[in-house]
Amino acid sequence: TDGPRSAAREDVAVTVLVLVDAENLALGRLRLVADALSGVPEEQLHVVVAGSARSLEATDWPTQAEVVEAAGWQRADVVLAEAYEKYADREGPLVLVTGDGDFSLLASRHGGQVLVISGAPSSRLRDKAKVIDPAMVGGEPIKAWLRAVLD
């Protein structure tokens, strides 16, 4: 097992894996995402946030989030890809907080529902997942998507 987190995951029907590239979204969007996640019970989310110290410290992430400092070219991508391999329920819901086209293959191969949160998602991500830009529509559509997949 993967320790305490996997034990908690077995106790609930659905856990949403949320992978956040804090270098890929503007601070305002990141704050809207963090706010939307804060309304979900801790045991129903597994949040991994990666980015530079500056990006990570600028937002109040949910207390259960794994916040990983990953500075340098593609380092956040590597951290998030490793988190997907370690934690993903391949049929469960997945949230990608990034517009980076490098995640399009992951989105297309994922067996469950995929939500992309970004202001400028690559065309490859737009083709593979539902996309929400919280700067344009606020955080409510994110909350609604989470409620729908968790019900």
What percent of the chain lies above the pLDDT cut of 70? 91
Mean pLDDT over 122-145 rounds to 93
Tens digits of per-residue pLDDT, 34-63?
999 998 998 999 999 999 999 899 999 998
Report the pLDDT averaged over residues 102-114: 92
User: Using CA atoms, how far apart are residues 98 and 23, in angstroms rounded to an integer?
Assistant: 8
Q: Is the pLDDT of residue 18 over 60?
A: yes
b/e sequence 8-34, b meaning 16+ C-beta within 10 Å: ebeeeeebbbbbbbbbbbeeebbbbbb
Q: Which two tokens stand for residue 37?
A: 């996640």
- For residue 3, pLDDT over 60 is answered with no
Q: What is the pLDDT at residue 151?
A: 87
